[in-house]
Structure 1
Amino acid sequence: MRVSDGDRERTAQQLQQAFTEGRLTHLELEDRLEIALTAKTYADLQGLVTDLPVERVDEVIDLESKSGNIKRSGDWAVPRRLRAASKYGSVELDLSQAVITHQVVDIELDLNYGSAKIILPEGAVANVDAFQSDWGKASSDVPGRPRPGSLYVVITGQAKYGGLTVRYPRRRRFTH
């Protein structure tokens, strides 16, 4: 899968951190940065950091709110398992620019009077079959079966008076 500028930048930051910690020599840093900044695929980037420590992301994170909305977007670390519960608010999880170190991510939702929106990176897939809503619906605009090399998100849980939407980021339209 092709990488974005953000992916290249995150890898470059990881390489610079390793240099700061004394894990790479100046020459190794220069060589790897050159490759990182011109990388086209995730395989190109992965080979640059396989011998470096991985920033540990908590395996399970619980997000809870009684009356407010829960929102995560931008550059944030996605755990292996994420549980989000809200009694009167909605949940919006934008994974499109997040750091995701796991091939499979489980998201469990527990909503009473709110809905959930999950935005996936291009190419990711999501299984929403185990999500139930009493007075809403689960809609997904992304494929639902696992694909080799693609992020696979499994969404479970329930909403009493809300629904679930899963989609890719909206494409920006440029005007002249």
Structure 2
Amino acid sequence: MPELQMRVSDDDRECAAQQLQHAFTEGRLTQLELEDRLEIALTAKTYGDLLGLIDDLPVDQPQVDDVVELESKNGHIKRSGDWAVPRRLRVTSKYGGVELDLSEAVVTHPVVDIELDLAYGSAKIILPEGGVANVDAFRSDHGHVSTSDVPGRRRPGALYVVISGRTKYGGLTVRYPRRRWFTQ
């Protein structure tokens, strides 16, 4: 698999280290096994290196290669409510829009990478309150990129979403959920 030869980031190494430490606290690894695996995890270069460290651990733990691809030629791609957000999300749409609402989603990663490849459509990404989005790697040929009041600089403890890719004829909007005012 070519994905196994892809180079890992510091966040990927940290995630694998957290998985190993969690497995140790559950009694699945001895102290010596934890130390050996942590040393390898913190110096890993590829996803293959990391997967070899956790492939004998229970599946209910998030996997290092947590990548989901969503594709549509003509339809609208939408995710909202209680859904599991992967570490990397690749979205491709030729003639449709994309709406990803992370405000009520289950996000177990401190950093989420969203790669958009849109031809004739726009994307809207709704972050949970306090979330941060970096859109520096996203390009719109004939449209706008709007982040409203969403900060772009990483903050400790806040979800950090990195959005990359492009759209030819469309835009990108990143915002927080709309506030609902209830009257009695």
TM-score of the superposition, structure 2-length normalised? 0.65
Determine the structure 1 residue equivalent to 2:73: 66
The letter for the 2-side match of 1:161 is Y
Which residue does the alignment assign to 2:125?
A: 118
- Taking the aligned partners of 1:113 and 1:122, their CA distance within structure 2 comes to 29
List runs of 5+ in structure 2 lacking aligned partners.
1-25, 27-58
Percent same amino acid among aligned pairs?
74
- Mapped to 2, the partners of 1:99 and 1:55 lie a distance apart of 14
Name the SS of the counterpart of 2:135 in structure 1: strand
Distance in 1, matches of 2:61 and 2:77, equals 24
Shift of 1:56: 3.0
Structure 1 residue 173: Cα displacement? 1.0
**For residue 145 of structure 1, what is the aligned residue in structure 2?**
153
Structure-2 separation of matches of 1:81 and 1:129: 17
- Report the TM-score when normalising by structure 1: 0.68
- Flag as ranges the 4+ runs of structure 1 deviating above 6 A: none
| Structure 2 residue 59 is the aligned partner of structure 1 residue 56 | no
Q: Which runs of 5+ in 1 are unaligned?
A: 1-22, 24-52
- Aligned-partner Cα distance in 1 for 2:60–2:170: 37
Residue among 112, 118, 131 paired with 2:138:
131
Aligned-pair CA distance for 1:127: 0.3
Give CA deviations for 1:91-142 in whole Å, capped at 9, x if unaligned: 0000000000000000000001100000000001000111100110110020
Cα RMSD for the two superposed structures: 1.7
| Matches of 2:145 and 2:135, distance apart in 1 | 7
Distance in 1 (CA, whole Å) between partners of 2:86 and 2:75 is: 22
Which residue of structure 2 lines up, in the alignment, with residue 164 of structure 1? 172
The residue identity in structure 2 corresponding to 1:101 is T
Shift in Å, 1:54: 5.1
Aligned counterpart, 1:84: 91
Deviation at 1:175, TM superposition (A): 1.9
